[in-house]
Amino acid sequence: MHSLTVCDHIMIAHSFRGEAFGPAQRLHGATYAVEAEFRAPQLDALGLLVDIGLARRELRRILDALDYRNLDDEPDFAGRNTTTEVVAQHIWTLLAQACRGGALGDGGKRVTALKVLLRESPLAWAAYEAAVG
């Protein structure tokens, strides 16, 4: 199995509901360093899994809708806590759609699995991964 990973980051505000969150119930924020890993069993004739330029552009397009925002105000997350786990799955869903929809070219259509990992601090990160297709 081949994999290709591209990275970017976003800076967001949010707050959490639930006593389990302690001080994180207050409005605070995070830099999420985002790693998007594309997997496919075969490369194309050029030796590529996906076009890295398209992969970066689509990841950036998806992140632009979150970057420099208060996630508490985003309709996509209404009624939900925007934990690192939830945001990772959200980005995964949009990036999987981009692969299937052709935004990453033919390479994106051959992607069989995708993993999106968000580093919230030097000491904690979360990821969501699943088959695409």
Spatial contact of 57 and 86, defined as CB atoms under 8 Å apart = no
Distances (CA, A) of 121 to 29, 40, 97, 118: 11, 29, 28, 9
Binding mask 62-101 for its own copies (x = CB under 8 A): -----xxxx---------xxxxxxx-xx------------
Burial class (CB in 10 A: 0-12, 13-18, 19+), 129: middle
For its own copies, the closer CB: 100 or 129: 129
For its own copies, the closer CB: 100 or 105: 105
Residues 65 and 24: their CA atoms lie apart, in Å, by: 23
Shortest gap between Cβ of 100 and its own copies (angstroms)?
Answer: 19
Would you tell me which residues interact with its own copies (CB under 8 A)? 1-9, 11-14, 16-18, 20-24, 26-31, 33, 43, 46-49, 51-53, 67-70, 80-86, 88-89, 120-130
